[in-house]
Amino acid sequence: MKRALTMLLAVTLGLTSVMLTGCGGSKEISSEDMQNDISVYQEELEAMMNESENEVQMSDSLLDYCMEKGFSVKKAKGSNIVITSKATENNGKAPKDTFLVEFRKDTAEGSCAAMATGLAAVKNSTQHGDITLVLSPYSTDESIGVSSLNSKTISGDRVIDLTRTSSSSLMDGSVGSRNYTMSKYLDKRSPQGSLAYKISITGLTAANSGDRSSDHINPIVFIGDILSDARAAAQNIELASFNSTGDTFNYSTSATAVVVIDESIKNKFESRLEKAQSRFEDKKGDNEEAAAFTYEVVEMPSLVYSYDDTANVLSLIYTLIDGVFATSEPDYEGDVLGLSSIYGVSTEGSFKVSVLGRYTDSDTLTEMDTTFDTIAQLSGFAVESEDMTNLWKQDDNAILKDEDFATAFESYHPERGALYSFTSSVCSELAEDFDGISVISIGIEEGNESDTAMDILDYLKARCETK
């Protein structure tokens, strides 16, 4: 009986020890188990994101979710979700680390992958100082998200941003961006042709246009190319309307053009549209099953642009650069220095087409200004520009000089140093808002989430050993 009580006490103490260890017990996790945790988190987070109407609603769901998963979590100002994990035993003097993930509904898959990576790392870390993980909703409202963070949440000497990128990388700067709007008032007249078509692309995802890791259909360019090729083949076209939906920093999700042609070219024109429809299906992304290219004969519009004005409009769209604008080496080799994305077209009132330019240095910005001004003038359009985000680079970044960090993320760190982020300005916002902190972004490649989480664990452990 005495022996039985002794064994029971030993088991009880063992279980208590495991429970008190809390976040990530004493046993180090395998890469396979880490991936399993990430996969579960990501699947559940994506389901929540899809059910949420917006990022703020997603924050409410995240709070409940993280509580259910056993994390120490609270909701802070600006709908920021703050997860904390106290230092493990004997590591109270280890440096504090703050991680951050900004999540967006329009980039749900990547956002959820980054959040899942952060959550799995916090859960499974067995040796660390105080950790904070902030899940921050994207918003243009400065009272919500990263812009509303304060020193109660962001403390210590560093913040490490986690984000999805095309390849594993470190980024200690973010590109500047400038919006260019080309516009011209064009008179309309009665149509000369006898047959009207509506050409539409719908259902595309609102992916960030700074991410060029995979091909993404730009509906404005796709429809514009069809019409430009038709004109080049002596198929006269009169444009009645051309409009798109989307926002400045994302690919357009849809575009629709109404055109008038002469009935004599009906067969050739429809053959062109059928081939375009087939190309569209081939180019669709894996997560764009709902996207569709359609065309139909519609009622004749009362007014259209003339043949010449239609030609100028299509020439402008055709000539504008949509994709890589400049690189560090000739023939588009080397590092990307600039990107440009055609994100908007409208025929409401005057004709307008909008382009967002992203740049990594002042020379590239000057080249963009000159290029877009020249292209617009050739078609007789005026150009207005507006700065959207500031170019930012953290010189002498203390995190990159940290031996613990450099060792853990050695494979992410190219010899030429950290890179610029083309998709996020989170680092620049944090560096500008909080004096004395270093900020860096870890780019997580799809399929490498477990490797990144394991590298975070190695980094946190090394920080304890060198405290």
Predicted local confidence at residue 27, as pLDDT = 62
Contact residues for 150 (Cβ-Cβ < 8 A; gap 6+) = 77
In the numeric block, the tokens 């009645």 are attached to 240
Q: What is the pTM for the complete model shown?
A: 0.77
More confident of the two residues 363 and 413:
363
Instruction: Report the C-alpha gap between 52 and 59 in whole angstroms.
Output: 9
- The residue-averaged pLDDT of 405-434 equals 78
For the chain, the domains span 30-175+392-465, 177-389
| Neighbouring-strand partners of residue 345 | 353
Q: What element of type H or E holds 11?
A: helix 2-21
Indicate if the pLDDT at residue 92 is higher than 50: yes
Instruction: With cut-offs at 50, 70 and 90, classify the pLDDT of residue 342.
Output: very high
Fold exhibited by the domain 177-389:
Alpha-Beta Plaits (3.30.70)
Q: Which residues of 206-238 are buried (b: 16+ CB within 10 A; e: fewer)?
A: bbbbbbbeeebbbbbbbbbbbbbebbeeebbbb
Indicate if the pLDDT at residue 43 is higher than 60: yes
Percent of the chain residues topping a pLDDT of 90? 65
Indicate if the pLDDT at residue 338 is higher than 80: yes
DSSP for 362-414? HHHHHHHHHHHHHHHHHTT-EEEEEEEE--EE-TT-HHHH-HHHHHHTGGG--
Same fold? 30-175+392-465, 177-389: no
Indicate if the pLDDT at residue 311 is higher than 50: yes
pLDDT in tens, 163-215: 988 788 888 888 999 999 999 999 999 999 999 999 999 999 877 888 876 77
Instruction: Report the C-alpha gap between 276 and 299 in whole angstroms.
Output: 22
Domain covering 30-175+392-465 in this structure, CATH number:
3.40.630.10
